[in-house]
Amino acid sequence: MTDKPTPSSSGLDLQPGAAFAETDRQAVYQAIATRRDVRGEFLPDPIDDATLARILTAAHHAPSVGLSQPWDFILVRSPRTRQKIAEIFADANEQAASLFPEQKQAQYKALKLEGIATAPLNVCVTSDPTRGGPVVLGATHMRDTDLFSTVCAIQNFWLAARAEGIGVGWVSILDPARVKVALGIPDHIRLVGYLCVGHVRGFFGRPELEQRGWRTRTPLGELIHDEFWGTPADAVSQALACTELASNG
């Protein structure tokens, strides 16, 4: 088998589509299986620019509808700015706690839900719904595809960071309007993710919320339907019993 690009029927180059080598394939699955939402394990050591550049490049290689590439990344290192965001989180977190049933509130308040001040780097990821122009290929009937694309970029960022031994925590308990003011984000830009990023003491073997008893992972077989909603996919469910990622996470 040749590893040279071959012309397609349209005359465009095609790259080889063979499966990765076993070790490469397992490395991909390992990054997926051991990725964690990091909160309280950050170290103060800064991330070197070369590593950060690789992670951001991975994010920028995410798929986007109509090749619109709607994402931007705001790198936030200033302790003063991070403290402003931490205060926005604190206000939102107090409001959020009150929304849970009384028996859950104490458990909620005991959770560490952000690392804004302790992570040496925060990354605010935004989406520009106008970037692809007034009509975006693929977005004519699903108007939030810019958000979907940006989330793909965040996932790429997260997996690449894990491969580099860098932890990431996604903070969603924030008032987007206040964050946009704090970071000077234009009105039409949408805030999608606020990430805490840094070296860590270690990664949890299983998701932290699962270990702390907040929720457990739903068996995948319960979420797969065959042809129509509610029809079990028995053959795939049987195969799942023999399939494990690189960790139980």
- DSSP tag of 221: G
For a pLDDT cut of 90, what percent of the chain falls above it? 58
Q: Give 4's pLDDT tier (boundaries 50, 70, 90).
A: low
Alpha-carbon span 99 to 45, nearest angstrom: 36
Mean pLDDT, rounded, for 87-101: 86
| 135 vs 57: which has the higher pLDDT | 57
Mean pLDDT over the full length of the chain: 88
Q: How many CB atoms lie within 10 A of CB 107?
A: 12
Q: How many helices (DSSP H) and strands (DSSP E) are in the chain?
A: 8, 6
Give 110-146 pLDDT, tens digit per residue.
666 578 999 999 999 999 999 988 887 877 788 889 9
pTM, 2 dp = 0.87
Residue 73: closest CA among 178, 150, 131: 150
Residue 61: closest CA among 122, 127, 152: 152
Least confident interval from 10-14, 84-88, 147-151, 201-205: 10-14
Q: Work out the widest C-alpha separation in the chain, in whole angstroms.
A: 64
Do 207 and 33 contact (CB within 8 A), yes or no? no
74: which strand partners? 124
- DSSP tag of 63: -
Instruction: Assign residue 157 a region (left: φ > 0; alpha: ψ between -120 and 50; beta: otherwise).
Output: alpha
Whether 27 shows a pLDDT value over 80: the answer reads: yes
Phi first, then psi: what are they for 163, rounded to 5°?
-65, -30
For a pLDDT cut of 70, what percent of the chain falls above it? 92
Give 177-232 pLDDT, tens digit per residue.
999 999 999 999 999 999 999 999 988 788 777 877 778 888 888 898 999 999 98
- DSSP tag of 232: B
Whether 82 shows a pLDDT value over 90: the answer reads: yes
Do 158 and 33 contact (CB within 8 A), yes or no? no
Q: Please report the pLDDT score of residue 93 as a whole number.
A: 87
**Which CATH code fits 41-202?**
3.40.109.10
Q: Give 88's pLDDT tier (boundaries 50, 70, 90).
A: very high
Domain regions of the chain by residue span: 41-202
